[in-house]
Structure 1
Amino acid sequence: MARRAFQAVILGPPGSGKGTISERIREHFGLRPVSCGDLLRGNISRSTGYPRSVVQVHTLALHFPLDTVLELQVPTAILQQRLTSRWLHPGSGRIYNTEFNKPLVQGVDDITGEPLTQREDDRPKTVARRLDLYAECTKPVIEYYTKEGILHTFSGSQTNQIWPDVFNFLKDHIKTLPDQLEGPHNA
């Protein structure tokens, strides 16, 4: 009998570290992450829609039953600072942050020397609206997953604070793990 793959969702506001946590999960557990943000942007560009409501989440659950939902909680002030400090090299998708991952020359991509841009989504007024919208839209989804008994919340102000707890939780909950796992170092 074939074993079903471990399926999880990571919820968190913009800038909470979902991409970084997903990459570390891939690295340590060999699971393949799918970025909802990338899917959402693709669906918007194709005008094909995206599941945002509890009804849509419930419908998805019928086809893709989840083992767990990981919620990342990061203080709003930190998210605002993190997002408004983010700059992008449009050609490659490389992301810089003026707080903790600065380019060698301000405003310039380290590899190509081309100018960096700031996404409209990362400008201060837009960031505030995005965080409010996330809280409003996600509250019923979080309540749904809480009632289902599969929501697990991880809090901190930095991904490196959250990651060890996520690692230990997954290590205890994924049934198809190799016998030896590398510890929760910060990738």
Structure 2
Amino acid sequence: MSADLFLRRAARIILVGAPGVGKGTHAERMLKRYPQLSSISSGDLLRENVRNKTPLGIQAEAIMKRGELVPDNMILRLIRNSLITKGWLVPDDNAQSFTVNSVSTNITAPSVAVNVPRPTGAEYSHSNEPDASFILDGFPRTDSQALQLDCLIPINLAIHVHTPTEIILDRICNRWIHPASGRTYNTTFNPPQKAGFDDVTGEELVQRDDDKPEVWKARLKQFEDAAMPLLEHYGKLGVLWRVVGNSSDEISPKIFKEFERRFGVEG
């Protein structure tokens, strides 16, 4: 992105892709390349609230200590609170009572452009200013979560990152590590000098249980089953875009080009 290229409207993005396709790498590269983009991570918000012992964080910590998953409505509240704090989301009528961390609060709208049509059932108006652009990480993962998110704030670009299964398996299942140091090798593109042994110490390399082919095949199948309805949801909304490649270095430039085509404007 050139120094004279800016965003002409808010970009609200999610990345959808199987484990091992490099979603985190692509997100980091986009955040570095486009200063107007921010990251909103449901996991980071959860950890921050637990660490700060907010009422919502205390509830979430108790749930996790019981070995249960934090429910969708709690994750949505975390995301909502973050967006409202940033001024990117405003309750209907620009000022109304709503619940933050289980406390009813009256909020007056920030001075941002929020006159944007809302989805049916939505209770909030959202900013369409370029600085209200973000990549949402960790949510939604299912079509039911996406439907709930639609009523909070609409995603306007869902990027489906696809790498062929055999490439993912080759990349992950050929990975071997030296446990003591954490040094990682791949028998395909970064093999040790002596097969099965660490270059520095000569000690034997091991393969983690999580990297074994049968484990990854199961994970990829699980992703496909869960992701198909999610992708269909965003396809019906007309915001789904699919990018295919064998590596992050091949895929990232394609993402940049499409992102700039949709949201960029020369200054």
Q: TM-score, normalised by structure 2?
A: 0.51
How far does residue 103 in structure 1 lie from its aligned partner after superposition? 7.5
Matched residue type, 2:22: G
Judge conservation of contact 1:89–1:109 (CA < 8 Å) in 2: no
Q: Give the root-mean-square deviation of aligned CA atoms.
A: 3.9
Distance in 1 between the 2:255 and 2:158 partners? 11
Distance in 2 between the 1:13 and 1:99 partners? 21
Judge conservation of contact 1:9–1:69 (CA < 8 Å) in 2: yes
How is 1:1-187 mapped onto 2 (pairs within 5 angstroms)? 5-30=10-35, 31-34=37-40, 46=64, 47-49=68-70, 51-86=140-175, 97-100=186-189, 119-175=208-264, 179=267
Matched residue type, 2:250: Q
Matched residue type, 1:127: W
Matched residue type, 1:153: R
The structure with the largest strand share of the pair is 2
The Cα offsets for residues 20-57 of structure 1, whole Å up to 9 and x where unpaired, read as: 11111111113234567x67xx89x9333465431211
Percent identity reads 33
Unmatched runs of 5 consecutive residues or more in structure 2: 1-7, 48-59, 73-139
Q: SS of the counterpart of 1:63?
A: coil
Judge conservation of contact 1:19–1:35 (CA < 8 Å) in 2: no
Q: TM-score, normalised by structure 1?
A: 0.70
Change (3 A) 1:121 1:94: same
- Structure 1: 4+ residue segments shifted above 4 A: 87-98, 101-110, 115-119
Change (3 A) 1:9 1:88: farther
Q: SS of the counterpart of 1:147?
A: helix
Higher Rg: 2
